[in-house]
Amino acid sequence: MANFQVTGSLVWYYQICPRETWFLARQLVADQDDENVDYGRFLQEKVYQRDKKDVTIGHLKVDVMKSKGGQLVIGEVKKSSASEDSARLQLLFYLNELQEMGVTAKGELLFPEERKKEQVILDEEGKKKIEELKEKIKKVVSSELPPPPRKVRWCKNCAYREMCWA
């Protein structure tokens, strides 16, 4: 894990389940036939066709990138707002990393099924939160073993569920 870098997906998954974060960081491949994985792909590929999608900037992979009134806007697409706080942190992470690269951007959380959109701005409090979160994720990922499974409401839809509860 010498070259390990925290990514937006890991920020998202850490809020859901630190064990899942460990699996992902170790590149244990999730069940690619899982219907949630398929649906996520569908949302990213079809819903925001006019904007640039799946843009890679260094270690960042953002869902949507567009310009609005001369301002760079990074969009994060989610199926539902049930984990809105995790999605907001993921987006703050992107904005923070971009700022460290000298790029100022605003964020938009997009919930197409709910026709909902939320603006996200990186402020000092957000920056502090993200730096603390990055340290926590690095600590979990650098452990030799994953954290033990802990039932959370997301387990039933988790692509790693067989590795925890089979």
Binding residues vs ligand SF4 (CB under 6 A): 17, 19-20, 149-150, 152, 154-155, 158, 160-161, 164
DSSP string, 92-145: HHHHHHHHHTT---EEEEEEGGGTEEEEE---HHHHHHHHHHHHHHHHHHHSSS
Nearer to ligand SF4, 106 or 161 (CB): 161
Nearer to ligand SF4, 104 or 157 (CB): 157
Cβ atoms of 95 and 105 within 8 Å: the answer is: yes
Nearer to ligand SF4, 58 or 147 (CB): 147
Nearer to ligand SF4, 102 or 148 (CB): 148
CB of 84 to ligand SF4, least distance (A): 18
Cβ atoms of 65 and 73 within 8 Å: the answer is: yes
CB of 133 to ligand SF4, least distance (A): 17
The type of residue at 81 is S
Q: How far is CA 21 from CA 120, 133, 145, in A?
A: 24, 12, 12
Nearer to ligand SF4, 12 or 160 (CB): 160
CB of 162 to ligand SF4, least distance (A): 8
CB of 75 to ligand SF4, least distance (A): 25
- What contacts 49, CB < 8 A, 6 or more positions away? none
- What contacts 139, CB < 8 A, 6 or more positions away? none
CB of 107 to ligand SF4, least distance (A): 25
